[in-house]
Amino acid sequence: MDRDNPIIGFLQIVLALNFLVEERTGTEPLLSNATYSYGIPTPAWDWDDIGRAIEGIEFTLDALPQHRAAYLKDCLAAYALMVREGQGDDIPYAERVATYLQVPGERVAGTVIEALECDLRSLLVDAGYPDDLSVAIPQWREDKALRRDQLVKEAQSLLRRAREETDRKVSPLPNEHTVALSFPKNYPSRGHSDYYRDYQGRVFLNGDIRWEMASLKHYVCHEVFPGHQAFSASREQEYRAGDRGRRSRRSGANP
């Protein structure tokens, strides 16, 4: 690990952690190595190596401006937890919430849960479902689930509408930007997106799970427009205009 340059040392940790998590899950949680080069090789570290690197770099971050050092230390706390998960530790949910989201992992009061259950039960009964949440919720989910052909149709429709609304309400996107949707089986997560140079993107929606319209709409907007895909295309557009100093990992040259 580079101890003389805390930013390089921090980036080495991120690259190594990103690689190990991708090996285990099939998705890159922290950086996109498919598109960009970060100027340094990915260290061939195991989980223990990353853990030691995290411990060794924390004090060097104090040389940075205070607000930046505090942010990076918060990130390191999350990375340390990811290392523990990678090593097989069974980490309590409350601890994961408190570390990753930085909110207290406190249980919701029973009275609040009871009130929510009462409201939900009333809404489901009004909609014609049984007065039993254990029966009504599965029935509601089954009724609202999008079947395979319907899922593809609705996802494509949402994609078109999201792009139109992003162009109109947020910022015009590059005309060349295209996003391909696919619905793989045996996928390790609910979904994922990646972006390649030349305004080409892909979005994967797990074809094995049930999707309701609300969750599908959220996912398309989050991953595509005005979310990650829109951001990546805008970033490439800025680069092409000379506003950013990124270098393509795939070609090793400027796009």
Tokens of 140: 């509601």
Residue spans of alpha helices (H) in the chain = 6-25, 47-57, 66-86, 93-100, 110-126, 133-144, 148-169, 213-223, 228-240
For residue 180, which phi and psi values (nearest 5 degrees)? -100, 130
Burial class (CB in 10 A: 0-12, 13-18, 19+), 143: exposed
Q: Stretch 77-102: mean pLDDT, rounded?
A: 93
What pLDDT shows up at residue 245?
Answer: 46
What pTM does this model have?
0.58
Residue of 2, 4, 15 lying closest to 63 (CA atoms): 4
CA distance 201 to 181: 9
For residue 178, which phi and psi values (nearest 5 degrees)? -125, 145
Parallel/antiparallel/unpaired status of strands 191-196 and 178-182: unpaired
Give 46 or 102, the one with higher predicted confidence. Answer: 46
Task: Report yes or no: 203 and 180 within 8 Å, Cβ to Cβ.
Answer: yes
Beta-bridge partner residues of 248 = 36
> What pLDDT, in 10s, does the model give residues 36-84?
677 889 999 999 999 999 999 988 888 888 888 999 999 999 999 999 9
**Edge to edge, what strands does the sheet with 191-196 contain?**
178-182, 200-205, 191-196
**DSSP H or E stretch at residue 200:** strand 200-205
The pLDDT of residue 35 is above 50? yes
The pLDDT of residue 255 is above 50? no
The pLDDT of residue 117 is above 90? yes
Judged by average pLDDT, the poorest of 95-99, 105-109, 163-167, 214-218 is 105-109
